[in-house]
Chains A and B, each alone.
Chain A
Amino acid sequence: MSRVQDRLGTWIGWALFADLASAFTLTFGYMFSRPVTMQYPDKEKWLPYSRYRGHHFLKRDEEGEIKCVACELCARICPCDCIEVVPYEDENGKRHPAKFEIDTARCLFCGLCEDACPADAIALGQQYEFSSFSSRDLVIGRDDLLGKPGKAMTGGGVVTARLNTEEDVLVETSEPHGYNWWRNIRRT
């Protein structure tokens, strides 16, 4: 009995275009909802979370000395063999890297170097804008790695930004937090 009623209801609904009506109200509602587009890189930019694995950076200790002890564990564990470390010994008898190169063109950003490091010297930071016209430019040396930005402190927000046309891909941001992009996601 109920099945017959259901079928009858479906037919009446079809005859009165109830299915079409619900579809049109849905799209009409969506038309006045806020767009989720992030206008990168002209106007807005995404801030990554602190767990984000972006460009590598090397850390310094309190005296400003490089933390890396050139044990080459990161080079060993690297699955794509993109880290090259050459050690030297300074006047105090401490090991440091004379050469520390990461080929970011080959890197797969797995973060194993960060896990393997016994001296907490290397980590994957927040920078994600480092595309280049030449794969040679993607081989990053020790001094550049020391200057790269570290882990993000805040994240998950969208901040106003503008494209810096002087440098190729850098996007400048001013505010630290921005608005939460997820507020635009409509859940029905």
Chain B
Amino acid sequence: MELLFALGLIAIKIALLIAMLLLLPLPLTWLERKLAGHMQQRMGPMRVGWHGLLQPVADGIKLLTKEDHIPAEADRFLFKLAPILALAPPFVVFVAIPFGETVSVLNAEITLYVSNLNVALLFVFAVIGLEVYGVIFGGWAANSKYAVLGSLRTCAQMISYEIPMGFAVVGVVMLAQSMSLVDIVRAQSDVWNIVYQPVGFLVFFVAGLAEAQRIPFDLAEAEGDLGAGFHTEYSGIRFAFFMVSEYVIVLLVSVLSVILFFGGWNGVLIPLPPLLWFALKVAFFIYVFMWFRFTLPRYRYDQLMAIGWKVLLPLSMANIIVTGIVFS
């Protein structure tokens, strides 16, 4: 009976998580277009619903009813597989992400995470690394020069930025003496990690921008020179899969920044519910992502590689050494 209850609880949590992750890109696209509009002195979507609030729904219906086109020379199996491969890892990662401590609902203690892995951080980085397969397969299978170029760029970019990203969080693991994300947040209950690890956060956030393939590092889908990069040939719902995946990764990098460097659900000054604190911080980081997008131009490809290998990697290594010397 207890086992059944626990399994049911996990199933409910996973269902809620999937629903949240599938639905969250809708308001995020609206928000992104609104922010883009207002930063460029436009209004953004205004027609569908109040101030365009129903625009994502209209877009979704449009994408669902569009022709699902597969190029004649494409590798049909890989072409169909790639969007799923791109979509699945960001969803899987959220299994290990905690959203708060336990809450009591109807006299039952319920934890706000699906599982508290003791190697959660390692799991997150391992699984998110798999996302690159979707991109590479998508670009390769489409049999288009733009798509191949885009996926080759993504391949190089993701591999070179995962290293500084991984090194940047080593300092956090040293401070918390644990790789469990729940323990990392608990360790920050007094002082947030950003105080001790400003360089680590900088490296992590820049590498996160590159991981999420957002401006200024969106070389993979550089509209100006590559059409749409690896998803040039995708249309309809398969294209929507790639877009959802992109937004979930943005959410993931925001959530990781909050958990690793900004104290997770620990609040300061104002006593708000922990979950609300967490949501506010994540919302702020998502805003920062969009703010970056509409402020900065795109880096050139050699500059991108130079930043990754010549700046971020030495910085993250120096951060590890300094953290090790000071806190050991």
Give chain A's interface residues, CB within 8 Å of chain B.
Answer: 20, 23-24, 26-28, 30-37, 39, 42, 184, 186
Contacts and interface: CB of A to CB of B under 8 A. Distances in A.
Interface of B: 35, 37-43, 46-47, 291, 294-296
A23 B296 contact: yes
Contact of B41 (A24, A30, A39, A42): A30
Contact of A30 (B40, B43, B46): B40
User: What 8 A-B pairs come out closest when comparing CB atoms?
Assistant: A27-B295, A37-B43, A35-B43, A31-B38, A27-B39, A36-B41, A31-B39, A23-B295
A26 B39 CA distance: 9
Nearest to B40: A30
Nearest to A35: B43
21 contacts: A20-B296, A23-B296, A24-B295, A27-B39, A27-B294, A30-B41, A32-B38, A33-B41, A34-B41, A35-B37, A35-B43, A36-B41, A37-B41, A37-B42, A37-B43, A37-B46, A39-B43, A39-B46, A42-B47, A184-B41, A186-B41
B303 to A, nearest CB: 14
A36 B39 CA distance: 11
A30 B43 CA distance: 12
A30 B38 contact: yes
B55 to A, nearest CB: 15
A31 B43 CA distance: 10
A30 B39 contact: yes
Contacts of A184: 41
Nearest to B46: A39
Contacts of A33: 41
Contacts of B291: 24, 27-28
A110 B39 CA distance: 38
Contacts of A31: 35, 38-39
Contacts of B35: 31
A35 B295 contact: no
Contacts of A28: 291
Nearest to A29: B39
Nearest to A32: B38
Contacts of A24: 291, 295
B219 to A, nearest CB: 19
Nearest to A43: B46
A31 B42 CA distance: 9
Contacts of B40: 30
A28 B35 CA distance: 10
Contacts of B295: 23-24, 26-27
B296 A35 contact: no
Contacts of A186: 41
A35 B41 contact: yes
A27 to B, nearest CB: 4
A36 B37 CA distance: 10
Nearest to A23: B295
A36 B38 CA distance: 10
Contacts of B294: 27
Nearest to B38: A31
B150 to A, nearest CB: 27
Nearest to A27: B295
Contacts of A30: 38-41
A28 B38 CA distance: 9
Contacts of B37: 35
Contacts of A39: 43, 46
Contacts of A37: 41-43, 46
Residue with the greatest number of chain B CB neighbours at <10 A, chosen from A27, A30, A39, A186? A27
A29 to B, nearest CB: 9
A185 to B, nearest CB: 9
Contacts of B47: 42
Contacts of B42: 35-37
Contacts of A36: 41-42
Nearest to A38: B43
Contacts of B46: 37, 39
A23 B295 CA distance: 7
A186 B42 CA distance: 13
B31 to A, nearest CB: 12
Given A27-B39, A35-B41, 20 more contacts: A23-B296, A24-B291, A26-B295, A27-B294, A28-B291, A30-B38, A30-B40, A31-B35, A31-B39, A32-B38, A34-B41, A35-B37, A36-B41, A36-B42, A37-B42, A37-B43, A37-B46, A39-B43, A42-B47, A184-B41
